[in-house]
Structure 1
Amino acid sequence: MPNSSSAPSFARIYDDLRVVLTVQRCGSMTSAASEIGTTTSTVSRQIARLRDTLGIYPFVKSEGEWRLNPALSDLVATFEQADGMLESELARLQEYQPTTRRDVKIGAPPTVLSHILAPGMRDFVSKNAGIRPVLDSRIHESGLGSTDISVVFHPPESGRVRVKRCGVLHFSIFAPEGWREGDGWVSLGERIAGPYIEARRHFFTSDPTVLVDSFPQAVRMMRELGLAGALPVILAADTPEFRPLGPRDLDIRRDLYVIHHESRSTDPDIRATVDWVSAQLVEAKIRTRALQDTQQRLCGSMY
């Protein structure tokens, strides 16, 4: 470390540690730059600056991936804890400024945002005037990234993160009315649907007719081209012209976890938002179960 006469400001170290923490959470400098809203080169420069300050490189390569240098684990964990506590204390002080609204960033898969959280947003905002929800679409991430709260399929295996399993996302095969075997099907790409594509190829006896990168695109292709496809049950409920195609052994069930950093557990805004997100997920699970019962009856009447 530099001597006291040349020591860098704590503000600069704080800023650089925030970047390192985001890289650790996101898994890459590119993803971290996107989360922060800057460029990869800027992230790289800040990491290099912290290396010069501390005398060690913040990341080391292990098994082909860049990981946090173990020598910095305690420092980064301490920073993360302090950062969360600071956010919580600032939230508490905002109680004295009733007209001030505070951003709470919520990350979740797109379908969760649009079909589980959005329907309850009016009620949440009316009851929590001091909170401004900021929704962030996330698909593969298992950690928090730059979010305050995230809904994930896989919770992080390490770190001081509070995890609550309270929701499920169900997927089934649907097709437009009049679809016949051989009419084709649409799928998300290998990056997202990879583990499930082979079983669907076997069912449809063909490769996908069209590949897309989101469920709204899949719905559009199903409507425009008359294709079948796998959709979240809660999303398919908005499209009454689609019918469940089966078979049930191709249905997928993905657990949903709500996560936030433990240092934010006393933050009143985080607590209120976590409780609301959890309640929306539980309500959606009940609603999906009712939809599946209806679909099962429809399937029975088709055969």
Structure 2
Amino acid sequence: MFNWNDLIFFLELARQGRLMPAARRLKVDHTTVSRRISELEKDLSLKLFDRKPDGFVLTEPGHRLFAVAERIEQEAVGVEETLQAAPSAPRGHVRVASMEGIGAFYLAERFAELAEKEPGLVVELVTERHLINLTKREADISISFVPPQGQRLAVRRLGAFRLALYAAPDYVRRFGMPRTRAELPSHTFVDYVEDLVAIQPVHWLLDVLEPLKVSFRSTSMHAQQNAVARGAGIGLLPLFSAKSNPRLIPILTDEVVVMRDIYVSVHEDLEFMGRFRAVLQHLAEVVQRDAAYLTEF
């Protein structure tokens, strides 16, 4: 009979594909992960992984065990919630991944609202430049501007937000206010670091033009907005962030309209569990409620 606890090590190695990342997630030494996998394979008399130069790849028996082990994992995760928490009182931690800009300028305040409404919930907001892999359980829920790809993900569109060109009074005083879209190429811009753009739709300035003159670049939308507010150049910023700084002046609001969709995704096994359902419902409600805030001046 195999050791049920070995399935924890099996699942993490299957998701990470390498010993060291799996060990970090499990907070053990990589040799422990290797030993537990070897013991599981011996107990089952099956080869679960092919050891390759770039990592561990599931064999056919490994894939079959992975499907079973995931179901066992989700049943175990739901034990405490099923036995101790009433459906109206979700409890526990929910990790939500998003891009830095929408996380800092929009989601953080909305999750503060959720904390008041559901004090038993703790949302952990993780911001990254790249899309978090829900299949590897790097997060429970993802908020993104493109629909993510992955096995057994439930993905839906929550709504949309608008972006517009902004400048600071200091910039307008020194270089003038562009009156038409045709004047934009002669102006100076604030933009992303081109070779570090992890998700192409985030490089939204390219929807308007490819700037000839750029004074400042950053992978951080927050940093870009601060540079624009200081007069470094014109920037294309989401309304949900630009509205937080009264120094920012919108430019060519009728001529330049850039929109992005907001998608929420969750692993199918988590979608209907109480605490995850509560977060998903809250996100749907606030994005619908804030539709005008996200898209209108």
Q: State TM-score, norm by structure 1.
A: 0.73
Q: Which residue of structure 2 lines up, in the alignment, with residue 237 of structure 1? A: 243
Q: Secondary structure at the match of 1:85?
A: helix
Q: Kindly tell me: are residues 263 and 201 of structure 1, through their superposed partners in 2, closer, same or farther at Cα, counting changes over 3 Å?
A: closer
1:67-78 to structure 2, matched below 5 A, reads 68-69=57-58, 71=60, 72-78=62-68
Question: Conserved in 2, the CA contact under 8 Å of 1:167 and 1:284?
Answer: no
Instruction: State the one-letter code of the partner of 1:268.
Output: G
Asked if 1:120 is matched to 2:125, the reply is: no
Say which SS state the counterpart of residue 129 (structure 1) adopts.
Answer: coil
Quote the Cα distance in structure 1 between the aligned partners of 2:253 and 2:4. 60
Match of 2:264 in 1: 258
Are 1:15 and 2:4 counterparts?
no
Structure 2 partner of 1:58: 49
The C-alpha deviation readout for 1:219-243, integer Å capped at 9, x for no partner, is 2222335322222221011112212
In the other structure, the counterpart of 2:119 is 129
Aligned residues of 2:90 and 2:274 also touching (Cα < 8 A): no
Contact preservation (8 Å) 2:166, 2:228: no
8 Å CA contact 2:162, 2:296 repeated in 1: no
Picking from 271, 292, 296, the partner of 1:286 is 292
The aligned residue for residue 227 of structure 1 is 233
Please tell me the residue identity of whatever aligns with 2:105.
H
Q: Report how far residue 214 of structure 1 moved.
A: 0.6
Q: Specify the code of the residue in structure 2 equivalent to 1:159.
A: Q
Match of 1:149 among 141, 161, 164: 141
Question: Among the aligned pairs, what percent are the same residue?
Answer: 17
Which structure dedicates a bigger proportion of its chain to helix?
1
CA RMSD, aligned part only?
A: 3.7
DSSP 3-state at the match of 1:221: helix
Change in 2 beyond 3 A, CA 1:198/1:232: closer
Give the match for residue 294 of structure 1.
none
Which amino acid counterpart does residue 192 of structure 1 have in structure 2? V
- For the pair 1:46 / 2:40, whether they are aligned, the reply is no
| Structure 1 range deviating more: 260-269 or 228-237 | 260-269
Q: 1:107-152: per-residue Cα shift (whole Å, max 9, x none)?
A: 2222232233222334312221221112111332153242222212
Distance 1:215 1:94, change over 3 A: same
Contact 1:143 1:155 in 2 (8 A): no
Q: Deviations over 1:253-286 (max 9, x none)?
A: 3322212222223311111111001222223333
Q: Which residue of 1 aligns with 2:152?
A: 160
Pick closer, same or farther for the CA change 1:67–1:46 going to 2, 3 Å: closer
CA distance in 2, matches of 1:209, 1:44: 49
**Structure 2 length-normalised TM:** 0.75
Q: CA deviation at 1:171?
A: 2.8
Give the 3-state SS of the residue equivalent to 2:96 in structure 1: strand
CA distance in 2, matches of 1:73, 1:149: 24
Shift of 1:166: 0.9
Indicate yes or no: 2:227 matched with 1:216: no
Do residues 175 (structure 1) and 167 (structure 2) align? yes
> 1:205 matched to which residue of 2?
212
Q: Given that residues 175 and 245 in structure 1 are in contact (C-alpha distance below 8 angstroms), is that contact kept between their aligned partners in structure 2?
A: yes
Q: Per-residue CA shift, 1:65-93, capped at 9, x if unaligned?
A: 86843522232232223222322232122
- C-alpha contact 2:85 2:91 (8 A) present in aligned 1: no
* Alpha-carbon distance in 2 for matches of 1:157, 1:194: 13
Distance 1:106 1:14, change over 3 A: same
Listed one character per residue, the Cα deviations across residues 190-233 of structure 1 (whole Å, up to 9, x for unaligned) are 22278448848955422x22221211111222233532222222
Secondary structure in structure 2 of the residue aligned to 1:263: coil
**Following TM superposition, by how much is the alpha carbon of 1:162 offset from its aligned partner in structure 2, in angstroms?**
1.7
2:180 corresponds to which residue? none
Inter-CA distance 45–200: structure 2 relative to 1 (3 Å threshold): farther
Q: 2:275 aligns to what?
A: 269
Provide the rounded CA distance (Å) in 1 between the counterparts of 2:227 and 2:217. Answer: 9
CA distance in 1 between partners of 2:160 and 2:244 (Å): 18
Is contact 1:103–1:131 with CA below 8 Å preserved after alignment? yes
Secondary structure of the residue aligned to 2:85 is: helix
Partner of 2:69: 79
